[in-house]
Amino acid sequence: MKKVLAVSGIAALLAGCGSSYQWDEVTTSKGSKGKPTAIYVDKKTKEPVSGTIIWKEGDTLISEFKVKNGKVQGDWVTHNADGSVAIEAQLDDGQLTGTTTVYCSGGEKKPQQRIVIAGKKQTDSQFDCASGLQTREEVTVHEEGSKQNGRTLAQSAWRVVNGEQVPAVVANYDKDGSGQLDGVQETFYPTGQVQERKHYNQGKLEGLQEEFVLLDDGTYRLRKVTAYKDGQRDGDSIQYFASPDWPEKTVEKRETYAAGQDTGKTVIYRELDVQVLVPYQDVPPNHYKLKEALAGKSTRDGYVADVESLKYLLQASDIDLNKPLVAEAELPVHYVAENAYDMLVSLGADPLKTTAEGNTRLMMCLKNAWRDCSDAHFDQLLALSNAKTANLFGNTPLHELCKSNSLTKERPELGQRLIASQDINAVNYAGQTALHYCITQRDKTVANALIAAGADLDKADYSGVTPVQLVFLRDPRLGRQKQVSWDAARIQYVGGLLGKSTFNFEAPFPGFDKSLKQLMIEASDAQSAMLVDSLAANKG
């Protein structure tokens, strides 16, 4: 018995120096079996082993590596079933050091991942196996005893598109190893164009944040800019129109902030007009009932208010008549019933005031045709010094008249009065004149009056569409899909304008690669195409 014990003791000593272990003789006390950073122990005794571990699967040698006190020491090389190298690494006391490389499958020994450790700094790189191009790089710093995986110093990522490397993400971090973003951070579209760009200062957004849009047609432009200070929105936040119909950097929405709080009005430019949202805190207590009394009730003669009762209430109330009575509403002078208008002005309401959108009382009468302002009241408003004022969208009273199908049809005499007092070729925010809107109406009375007064038939808006071309598009809004339609009446109408316009039925039509005549032919509409030919012959 003693002799057997002596032999066993010697075997134990030898195992500590240079024993070898088969794969099924060991397990791990920490980490997964087959990982270089695991701690390997004897399967029976659970004690850390020292020596050489031979890892075989069947007849295939996967790896042969040395361990000391259960921790891998020196080179670590693993192989695939076909004998090709899968991983190469160097370890010191169970910790990765130097360069670790994970290879793509196959015998070409192309890297899929590479980790380089130099002191406290670790650089982790990843690669695309098909092309061999790098797709990611992250630099981190590791402190001894830290429970964190590491604090990031820099980060970059790429996509492989058509065999070429294009950027995906670039991020910069504070050089002190704190792991806080510091400097520029950019993300990219698959094309390599910037999608978003942010600026950081010690982990907080600082300066301008930019967002870019890439449309299906290849249009690439700045979409939004937001100013930050100390991690909060501070200054203007501006959103631009994405559609290529609008000139680049045309503002669609503007907001203003201070220390993260909305401090001013929000201006939103729509396809045809503008909207302004006013912070509620800038509005006095709501007076809904008084607002309703000022607006009046609908009668056969339009909206009518009880003037005497209103006058009493307004004089008895401590109300500023030149401020909104209700949050996000116009001033009293803009919606007061016509029969109470003079009384309101006599009490101090300024008739020249505009709404937050820049609309005058005249504009509000035109925009709200259902209010049915009388001819006498229109004459009264046209006599004011702000009768030619355009709103923030650039729409003049003439634009607003032409936007209303009911007014152009039922009150064409208004068109004549406005034409006499307005710049008929004034353009709005979309580059459109009043004729762009009037010519789309079924009733062309006001449109014809504009043309007779010298309105420019060939003035193109920002999407390149002229008033004559709108006869066949029927929708003046920018950024909308262009759908062309025609009939004999519209063809005849435009035919009568050919002597005053450069329009040509055989010229390329906006939004299409073909002429209007060619579109008619492709639609098998011979009658319309022949009508076009006859109009061209008569013009000649």
Tell me how crowded residue 255 is: count the other CB atoms within 10 A of its CB.
Answer: 19
What pLDDT score does 142 carry? 78
What pLDDT score does 145 carry? 53
Taken in order 416, 420, 425, 426, the sign of the CA dihedral is negative
What pLDDT score does 150 carry? 72
Give, for all 540 residues of the chain, the pLDDT tens digit.
333 333 333 334 444 456 899 999 999 999 999 999 999 999 999 999 999 999 999 889 999 999 999 999 999 999 998 889 999 999 999 999 999 999 998 878 899 999 999 988 999 999 999 999 999 999 998 776 554 567 888 899 999 998 999 999 999 888 877 888 999 999 999 999 999 999 999 999 999 999 999 999 899 999 999 999 999 999 999 999 999 999 999 999 999 999 998 887 899 999 899 999 876 655 566 788 999 999 999 998 889 999 999 999 999 988 899 998 887 779 999 999 999 999 999 999 999 999 999 999 999 999 999 889 999 999 999 999 999 999 999 999 999 999 998 999 999 999 999 999 999 999 999 999 999 999 999 999 999 999 999 999 999 999 999 999 999 997 888 888 888 999 999 999 999 999 999 999 999 999 898 999 999 999 999 999 999 999 987 765
The residue assigned the tokens 């006013």 is 278
pTM of the model: 0.81
Write the CB contacts of 289 (distance below 8 Å, at least 6 apart in sequence): none
What pLDDT score does 107 carry? 76
Contact between 94 and 37 under an 8 Å Cβ cutoff? The reply is yes
Task: Specify the amino acid at residue 193.
Answer: Q
Q: Which long-range contacts (CB under 8 A, 24 or more apart) does 462-466 make?
A: 462/245, 462/246, 462/247, 462/250, 462/430, 462/431, 463/245, 463/246, 463/510, 464/510, 465/436, 465/510, 466/501, 466/503
What pLDDT score does 302 carry? 86
Six-digit token string for 409: 């049809």
What pLDDT score does 15 carry? 42
For the chain, list the domains and their CATH numbers.
206-264 (no CATH), 278-393 (1.25.40.20), 397-540 (1.25.40.20)
What pLDDT score does 106 carry? 82
Six-digit token string for 400: 């607003």
How far apart CA 102 and CA 110 sit, in angstroms, is: 9
